Chains A and B, each alone.
Chain A
């Protein structure tokens, strides 16, 4: 068990290293740089800027210097926001993103799974139809449409919630709704089909034939087995929600990290691109690792380290 975890962590470091290297060289291969813009900058100033940020150094030297920084978890200064380091940007933006992300995740799990269960148990009856209609709408409508339409109706027209900012709890409602909508619908559909499949299994008939209480049959025998595919998608969902969404953060003017990622690319803000990519990648890998650990707890047939040994 411990050996397996150590092996996984080492593999994560190797993967992360590959991501860093690829991103670094791809990024530098794209024409232009952080200080090329429409405005004409005096050549001396350009040279001074390049010198300050070591952009004149050979690329391999820049790369090794960057790796040195990573080794001590220093993601470097932002090229676009003087005086701000990438570490600071993440530390500042992450709590905002996390708060909405965790709330959205709670919605997805606490509503999506039970809705799916209800739909499965009332298969082809009205609760199922109702859930599936909303789930189909939820999957079909993009989050920015949900965001703008709800913003227009509830903030602008009705004035029930603020149009931007997270100053009180009402400010969270629309961003969380827009953020969780798709995944909520997706998880509800997945839970439904997964539970329906499990309910048809022979061991469910066995459980009933043993005279167990229907609740025990459903929760102890049914739910656990139908959770396996849900947990599989939940890993990437968690990473997706907790790292924020550029569109949603832009529409609701939330100071999260999601928008930094997109803006940094158009800005050619090298260190920010690198920093946030590494952060996302690491986060996603940790989530997938956690999912694999949950698998172990859910399904005893999964054996540790078989694939890697």
Chain B
């Protein structure tokens, strides 16, 4: 699917047809339904979606950090030639925090309140590297320096509650970077922070990514964040990939009604005119009973009969001329027999926005 011409190298992570469900008393919650994507070395891939779209669960499935009632039912996630879904847990442990590390949404609750931040970083280093405590502490000081925490050697002995939210997220980032990961998964890293702090943390992430050359998966529901730092986007809805492509392409020429709806719901402050925000009416599907057709169909203004009956395939750049290189959209309107809806499938769509 999302074969991008721009990428000559092999993907560092290749997720294929991943399906994850949670089993509760009420039944099976199909959180992720056949998600596929690639992450290439040194790029930032953004995964966007509303809460419940399956974006976090996709990454938690890849890292095998699902809660006890969650199970990966199908698919594979190949990281450097190893399928993470079937890797023995000992080898999986050796990867986590080492080659693949993760930053979580809420730095208030993601750090252990009873251990010093230094200890929490040192134990990570020592879980993966044969180094003395003193050397690990030295490395931790370097890391604090790297994420711009002032007076690092002193702060190492502090407890999480002695830091502000932004500083705690820097601690989390330092911890995630402690073993020079090749892939960093950042799950809504700025959502729990103040707006002014969000920017700083985002800038830091971007800066560290280009300096250290690692690949980053950035999960967010904030399109502003996406526009600012990512190279490619994956738009998720109802546990599926709705549209994917390079950031510029998706912002300029979105080819899925959902992506278009998302973009219309961003306030445009630069235009100067008073504009009404147009939110997408309706609410996300109930994943206990996902719709048989396109999950977005009930909220889609262009929905046709087929949309509620069968899930469309992910149409790629070659299938229809409107999709740019590396772009793909899961919408029946890209089917050869679909009626023309100018803003979605017409080749020229000047009046769309």
Contact = CB atoms under 8 A, between A and B. Distances in A.
Given A202-B109, A300-B159, A301-B159, A209 B93 contact: no
Interface in A211-232: 211-213, 216, 220-221, 224-225
Contacts of A207: 112
B175 A221 contact: no
A188 B175 CA distance: 35
Contacts of A205: 65, 104, 110
Contact of A225 (B93, B104, B106, B112): B112
A300 B110 contact: no
A298 interface: yes
A203 B111 contact: yes
A203 B97 contact: no
Nearest to A209: B102
Contacts of B116: 300
A220 B123 contact: yes
B252 to A, nearest CB: 36
A210 B94 contact: no
A138 to B, nearest CB: 27
Contacts of A209: 63, 65, 96-97, 101-102, 104
Contacts of B104: 202, 205-206, 209
Given A205-B104, A210-B97, A211-B98, A299 B123 contact: no
Nearest to A123: B68
Tier of interface size on chain A? 20 to 34
Identify whether the interface residues of A are mostly helix, strand, loop, or mixed.
helix
B124 interface: yes
A211 B114 contact: no
Contacts of A299: 113-114
A205 B110 CA distance: 8
B124 A211 contact: yes
A206 B124 CA distance: 10
A300 B113 contact: yes
Nearest to A199: B68
Contact of B114 (A206, A216, A298): A298
B123 A212 contact: yes
B94 to A, nearest CB: 7
Contacts of A211: 93-98, 124, 127-128
A210 B114 contact: no
Tier of interface size on chain B? 20 to 34
B206 interface: no
A144 B96 CA distance: 54
A221 to B, nearest CB: 5
B60 to A, nearest CB: 8
A203 B112 contact: yes
Contacts of B102: 206, 209
A298 to B, nearest CB: 7
A210 B112 contact: no
B127 A210 contact: yes
A210 B124 contact: yes
Contact of A203 (B96, B101, B109): B109
Nearest to B161: A301
B200 to A, nearest CB: 22
Contacts of A212: 93, 97, 123-124, 127
Contacts of B128: 211
A210 B175 contact: yes
Interface of B: 63, 65, 67-68, 93-98, 101-102, 104, 106, 109-116, 123-124, 127-128, 159, 161, 172, 175
Interface of A: 123, 200-203, 205-213, 216, 220-221, 224-225, 298-301
Given A210-B123, A221-B112, 20 more contacts: A202-B106, A202-B109, A205-B65, A205-B110, A206-B102, A206-B172, A207-B112, A208-B96, A209-B65, A209-B97, A210-B97, A211-B94, A211-B97, A211-B98, A212-B124, A216-B123, A224-B114, A225-B114, A300-B116, A301-B113
